[in-house]
């Protein structure tokens, strides 16, 4: 009986970490594995289950949609999480952000159809060309899922004639169909832009995944949260040195 109680107590003591589905999942799992917080291979965390709580893992994992990670952490459903900086900027949450994990590298860019601008113009007349196209129409239409980031970007440039069109997917199709003049979207290699005859004009923000922590958990479980931060920080440093 005592052994069973101890097992239950150990399970209750585990930190819960929200990890995003999709392109960052593999890198996040590898980081946690190399930091000795999880023991299993990627396929053991690949199913329709929401919570993975293997007995030999030091933490429980919640595999959720990327945009939901900060919500799970803010409201205490997870003690910590792995979230892209783009998500944190677009939908700010009341969470602690102690560490850049250096994974999930990509960027949010403004892009336009190649008919408006060439790569040569971007390289050799960068500032003048950007100014010309941003102020070339009376009502600049921009399609994006990053409404906040886009609005802040154009506000800082003093471009006030922007109509932001919210899309949830297939943003690259918007200029082709005539829906908009520009898009603001997340890119990694830029291949999707090239395939849709688009060219990046401005890098708005460089994105990596961050460790975020629930503020109450930081106080209640300060020792374990601090250990998690230190262990991941050491692993990130080793990765950078490779």
- CA 231 to CA 208: how far, in whole Å? 18
Both tokens assigned to 105: 């590298």
- Give the position of tokens 């849709």: 196
- CA 48 to CA 46: how far, in whole Å? 7
pLDDT reading at 124 higher than 90: no
- CA 35 to CA 235: how far, in whole Å? 6
Chain centre to alpha carbon of residue 66: 7
pLDDT band at 5 (very low <50, low <70, confident <90, very high): very low
Q: What is the pLDDT of residue 24?
A: 94
Mean pLDDT value of segment 213-233 = 96
Distances, alpha carbon 207 to alpha carbons 80, 84, 89, 107, 185, in Å: 19, 7, 10, 5, 12
Fold of 2-103+208-241: D-Maltodextrin-Binding Protein; domain 2 (3.40.190)
Both tokens assigned to 155: 């506000």
Portion of the chain with pLDDT greater than 70, in percent = 85
Q: What is the pLDDT of residue 117?
A: 67
Interior CA angle at 51 toward 47 and 56, to 5°? 95
Domain limits, CATH 3.40.190.10, in the chain: 2-103+208-241, 106-207
Of 124, 228, 141, nearest to 184 by C-alpha is 141
Contacts of 206 (CB under 8 A, 6+ apart): 85, 105, 107
pLDDT band at 112 (very low <50, low <70, confident <90, very high): confident
pLDDT reading at 220 higher than 60: yes
Both tokens assigned to 56: 């030999």
Mean pLDDT value of segment 21-36 = 94
Q: Which CATH class is domain 106-207?
A: alpha beta
- Cβ neighbours of 225 (radius 10 Å): 21
Longest Cα–Cα distance of the chain, Å, equals 76
Mean pLDDT value of segment 131-158 = 84
- CA 217 to CA 73: how far, in whole Å? 9
pTM for the full model? 0.86
């Amino acid at each position: 009986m005592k052994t069973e109680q101890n097992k239950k107590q150990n399970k209750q003591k585990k930190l819960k970490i929200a990890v995003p589905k999709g392109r960052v999942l593999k890198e996040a799992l590898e980081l946690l594995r190399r930091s000795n917080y999880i023991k299993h291979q990627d396929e053991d965390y690949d199913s329709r289950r929401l919570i993975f709580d293997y007995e030999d893992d030091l933490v429980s994992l919640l595999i959720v949609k990327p945009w939901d990670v900060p919500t799970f952490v803010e409201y205490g459903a997870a003690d910590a999480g792995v979230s892209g900086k783009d998500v944190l900027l677009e939908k700010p949450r009341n969470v602690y952000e102690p560490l850049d994990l250096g994974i999930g590298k990509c960027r949010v860019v403004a892009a336009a159809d190649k008919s408006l601008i060439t790569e040569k113009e971007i390289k050799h007349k960068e500032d003048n060309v950007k100014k010309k196209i941003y102020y070339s129409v009376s009502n600049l239409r921009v399609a994006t899922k990053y409404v906040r980031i886009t609005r802040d970007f154009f506000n800082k440039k003093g471009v006030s004639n922007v109509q932001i069109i919210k899309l949830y997917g297939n943003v690259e199709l918007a200029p082709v169909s005539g829906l908009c003049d520009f898009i603001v979207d997340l890119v990694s290699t830029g291949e999707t832009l090239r395939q849709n005859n688009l060219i990046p004009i401005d890098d708005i923000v460089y994105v990596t995944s961050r460790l975020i922590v629930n503020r109450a958990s930081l106080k209640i479980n300060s020792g374990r949260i601090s250990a998690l931060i230190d262990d991941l920080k050491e692993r990130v440093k080793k990765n950078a040195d490779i």
